[in-house]
Structure 1
Amino acid sequence: MIKLIINFITIIVLLCAISTIVSGTAATGSYTATFNPTQNWGVWEGFGTSLAWWAQTYGNNTVLADIMFTTQNVTYFDGTTVLPGLGLNIVRYNAGASTWVESFGRKMVQSPEIKRSRQVEGYWLNWASEDPQSDSWNWAADPLQRNMMAMARDRGVQYFELFSNSPIWWMTYNLNPSGADLPAMNNLETWNYQNHTVYMATIAQYAAENWNISFTSIDPFNEPSGDFWIAFGSQEGCHFDVEAQKDVIPYMRKEIDSRRLTAMLAASDENNYRRALDTWNSFDSSIKQAVDKVNVHGYELTKGPRSELYEAVNSQGKVLWNSEYGEGDITGLSLATNLLLDLAQLHPTAWVYWQVLDISGWGMIEADENANPPSIGAVATKYYVLAQFSRHIRHGMTIIQSSDGNSVAAFDSVNNKLVIVSANIASSAQTITFNLSKFTTVNGGYGGIVPRWATETNGNGDLYSYHEDTYIQDKMFSVTFNSQTVQTFEIEGVYL
């Protein structure tokens, strides 16, 4: 992603968009949400985060690893706050594009606007040799991002995606991994198309053989159609027009297959739903066949053709992920709104937040990698909002049809448990009745109890607070939501 607007402007736009959604739906007063287990949207794979950039600064921090990748209750750095671990089971590892050694007399050109924390160190130093054992490769690079990935693995993370923001600098026309000299200009040299995929596949193969990491997917692009990847940009990035993508994808397919890697080929990680749909529709059948998984980013927020993208991708039998989402709303209301829109319309099987540690508003936890020393600050309310989803909708559950766009239901067939996450995004309280009559048996816990967890996004009330005050009766239960509140329910003893 790229942050080109000031956070307070972002927040104003988001809240206006949410207000529009509220005015167009049954968002005030009381209503009933019904769930249909005979229609489902696939098996849930999980929630995750990108490791770049935060992990290359905080990659030795075991407390952060526990917070992000377990469901334990973890004592925060202030010594008093206890955080519910998010239980993320997906990490996206960034293959770096920067090195600071000469390559046959050429040096990397650095954008005057890029900070060191946004530069990820790469492994391939020069084109002299493709042999990963040669001195053309530096496998000591990027130690902290790799270390956090290893700690994530040891805490049970199940999916590892390798992605590229930019090819290694020496593969680009202007030797600058931030982008081309002009907007919307391809920056990867055509004669390095295959080398870029060799780089990605070599990292994946080396990781399997030496790091005990098996990448489950590889994406050679990041927001490739964007016109914001320019030489004076603030991060690594590279424009690939659709024709360039169509040239690179077969090379990536060949490298994955020839090395017998088990990784899926993912593409194209476009910035938003509209661009993703346009890119996918521009691919011919052979390119679509080469792609195993379609990744899209959620920066269109409340807008965009989510349903159309789902239909286009699902009709080809491809996996669909929202592989990157982020915004500057510290409350988490925007996150809940857009995540529920994704689950109701896009139907991804995984959902990944961009930076769990970032500046105020963007991060789940406020952090400044550029401070001396780097700092870690307050926990945002949006952290607790994500916990309402990620701690309960777990890997292997099935997302089932909901009549209500503000509620999602996930069924655990192993433990006969139904999880419902619902949000009142309106500015006034409302009562929601949950109708489970389409299930054959609904018992609830002891005495019909339905445990619930609640977060009020204004930050003044519940923050992932646990309650035992709700009971199932005749396969139904009703709950009053305060304004702009997210609640999670776990109903035991549910049978199809």
Structure 2
Amino acid sequence: MVPTRKQSVPRPRRRSGLRGPAAALAVTGVAAAVAATGLTAPRATATEAQAAALTVRLDPSYQQPSFQGWGTALAWFANVTGGWPDAQRDKLADDLYGAGGLGFTIARYNIGGGDSPDTAPYMRAGAAVPGYWNRPGPESPGWWDPADPDHWNADADANQRWWLTAAKARGAQTFEAFSNSAPYFMTNSGLVSGAVDGSQDNLRADQFDKFAAYLSGALQRAQDSTGVKFDSVSPVNEPNTGYWHAGGGQEGSHWDPASQARMISTLRADLDAKGVTTPVAAMDETNPGLFRSNWESYAPGVRDAVGRLNTHTYGTNGRTGVRDIAKGEATPLWMSEVDVGGSVPQSFTDMSPALDLAGRINDDIRELEPRAWVLWQAVEDYENMTPAHENSNWGLIQTDFTPADAATEPLRKNKKYWAMANYSRFVRPGARVINTDDAHTLAALRPGGQGAVVVHTNTTGAAQDITLDLNGFRSVGSAPVERYTTDATKNLQRESDVATAGRSLKATVGAGSVTTFVLPGVAGVNTAAATAPIGAPRQLVGDNSGMALAVGTVSGTAAPVQRTSDPADAAQQWTFTKSAPADWGSTAAYRVTNVGTGKALSVSGGVLGFAAPGSSPEQQWIRSTTGDGHATLINRATGKLLDVTGAATSDGAPVGVYRPTTGSNQSWTFRGLAADG
């Protein structure tokens, strides 16, 4: 049973600032996108007839790791629609995973905990995801035995499992299983919605081993019944929050950092004992800042048990810190869950929520450098979004989760759906996102490196002339550039092609629009225009103090310090030597050598100092930047960042290494030696 149609259940994840198929798609197929009519115009944010002209520099000399794709959690909408008539559920699956739809390639499958059959239904529509346990007789304390086949229901959760097979059939390549709560009989409250006190853990202290066995057992049964192979399993979700309370409208569980660490280690041990190599993902925290706090509390052995880092971005603070943690740990990172409801009432024509979504995608990918970007649930409960309830724009498609007739229930696409298509149909698995110097522009090299895709968002209320500076590429070519637009009157509409002129592309984009450009002819890296710090020496100027990294003397020994900037001082001049000259990746490593002394920055025993130039990890530094002219430097051996100690601003203050904090004392500008900087 589910809540009545008129019941609106609060969403603890979805608070302001918190949260509530083929590998290659034919680009020309997008021309069939249908143009909408009668749509409302975007709210004006500029009154001039034309927004200020903009030039955007594309930088293929900074390439993020190979992108795995876009996707959605299944969870509630799959638990509902997976049981609908074939025509309806197939249409939804085509819309999300089909070549003519969004072309998603990732699905996150929710392993339900499941409340007692004796508990009266209380959750929101779709949220009561069935568990894989079976209670064959009267319940007694400690009754569930993972070794007893009678205590398992291998046929559980048929609706969500249908979606796994449907996604795979349409080309989905990557699958993750995640948990929101342990089964009711493992919890302190007896409910899967959380503890009575939301600040307390709900998993009983004696149930860690059994919960690990439950997750690994459910994982195997879901794989066996669908033919899907899970690439990862995530045991905790938004753990260190106060969202989850007994009797709430969805599954959830608080985990303090020590409990998170114990659960991660216990699950890894259980999988290893069964010969299962599926990586453990962690910890799916609600925002990057809280992720970082949790991670810093984990012991090295716990960190080693994590095969992928997952963060949500319902809060957006501290993204670059998680980016640098991932690089320092050499562990892949996902943005594994988010959605935005927008700041306007429920609408299927207003571009505002679509522009908000595009902004979140751009910022997440620029600042986090994730291997994947995954929505919460792409299909939302229409009734719960109406003005009588939340009056919001969650989901890309809205449909009633408790319809009078599922066979005829409308599947309502909003503008977010089409804006999402501007990204997901073109930036495909194997693409490599590259830097731009504009926060509203995402660019990526196509798989194989020939050609690029650029998605630009014009958030203003006026048309905008943009120029794409292509000088960063080795070759540009003259092939026509395809253009696709989503705005108030267009849904991913194929526009007239545009042409490059020399090493640039000029176009005009409409007010309140998301535009995708497909440039088939660009390739390679123009080393003369690369932003990578190769070639001539330069200064490293601290963004907090304005002072330059220098070789100084501390207690009679040469040591890194900051000094008042003097470009002529050889002690402030540094050369960067790339470990692999042809590596243009964002994890490329450099040796940083002082011109005056000939010694290289090196970490020994956790202390920053100098050593004769070599190739050891202690002398290798990874540069991270969003393309805004500022960067962090991560030591490959320790994962720590070049850091002005104590954020000091005084001349002669020591410089060392420290864990990522996102502080400006860890941010540096690489400055040429000319007097004007």
- Shorter-chain TM-score bucket reads 0.7 to 0.9
Counterpart position of 1:399: 433
CA contact (8 A) 2:453 2:518 kept: yes
1:483 aligns to 2:511 (yes or no) = yes
Cα offsets for 1:140-199 (capped at 9, x unmatched): 211110011111111111111000011111110111000100121100001111211111
1:211-290 aligned within 5 A:
211-290=226-305
- Using the size of structure 2 for normalisation, the TM-score is 0.64
1:98 to 114, 121, 137: 114
Counterpart position of 2:619: none
CA contact (8 A) 1:205 1:261 kept: no
Counterpart position of 2:378: 356
Tell which deviates more after alignment, 475-484 or 243-252.
475-484
Question: Residue 487 and residue 51 in structure 1: after superposition, are their counterparts in 2 closer, same or farther (change >3 A)?
Answer: same
Counterpart position of 2:56: 33
CA contact (8 A) 2:161 2:222 kept: no
1:366 aligns to 2:398 (yes or no) = yes
Paired AA for residue 54 in structure 1: F
Q: Which has the higher contact order (CA 8 A, sep 6+)?
A: 1
Counterpart position of 2:457: 423
- Using the size of structure 1 for normalisation, the TM-score is 0.87
Counterpart position of 1:87: 103
Show structure 2 runs of 5+ residues with no match: 1-8, 18-42, 84-88, 136-142, 348-352, 386-392, 525-677
CA contact (8 A) 1:110 1:178 kept: no
CA contact (8 A) 2:429 2:447 kept: no
1:306 Cα deviation after fit: 1.0
Please give the alpha-carbon distance, in whole angstroms, between the structure 1 residues aligned to 2:202 and 2:368: 31
1:100 Cα deviation after fit: 4.5
Counterpart position of 1:49: 72
Cα offsets for 1:382-427 (capped at 9, x unmatched): 0000000000000001111212111111112526121111111223
Please give the alpha-carbon distance, in whole angstroms, between the structure 2 residues aligned to 1:151 and 1:278: 38
Paired AA for residue 123 in structure 1: Y
Please give the alpha-carbon distance, in whole angstroms, between the structure 2 residues aligned to 1:325 and 1:5: 10
Please give the alpha-carbon distance, in whole angstroms, between the structure 1 residues aligned to 2:277 and 2:224: 13
Q: Which has the higher helix share?
A: 1
1:452 aligns to 2:452 (yes or no) = no
1:290-369 aligned within 5 A:
290-300=305-315, 303-329=316-342, 331-358=353-380, 359=382, 360=385, 361-369=393-401
Show structure 1 runs of 5+ residues with no match: 11-18, 73-84, 102-106
1:131 aligns to 2:144 (yes or no) = no
Aligned Cα root-mean-square deviation (Å)? 2.3
Cα offsets for 1:472-493 (capped at 9, x unmatched): 1112111212222111011112
1:58 aligns to 2:81 (yes or no) = yes
Q: How many residue pairs get matched?
A: 454
Please give the alpha-carbon distance, in whole angstroms, between the structure 1 residues aligned to 2:398 and 2:501: 43
1:292 Cα deviation after fit: 1.1
1:111 Cα deviation after fit: 7.1
1:441 Cα deviation after fit: 1.1
Paired AA for residue 463 in structure 1: N
Counterpart position of 1:122: 131
Cα offsets for 1:328-363 (capped at 9, x unmatched): 125311100111001111111100111111134102
Tell which deviates more after alignment, 305-314 or 377-386.
305-314
- Runs of 4+ in structure 1 deviating by more than 4 angstroms, as ranges, are 4-7, 109-112
What's the secondary structure of 1:335's corresponding residue? helix
1:169 to 184, 202, 217: 184
Paired AA for residue 368 in structure 1: D
1:412 aligns to 2:446 (yes or no) = yes
Paired AA for residue 492 in structure 2: Y
Structure with larger Rg? 2
CA contact (8 A) 1:98 1:168 kept: yes
CA contact (8 A) 1:49 1:354 kept: yes
Please give the alpha-carbon distance, in whole angstroms, between the structure 2 residues aligned to 1:48 and 1:173: 33
Cα offsets for 1:65-93 (capped at 9, x unmatched): 11111222xxxxxxxxxxxx000000000
CA contact (8 A) 1:33 1:434 kept: yes
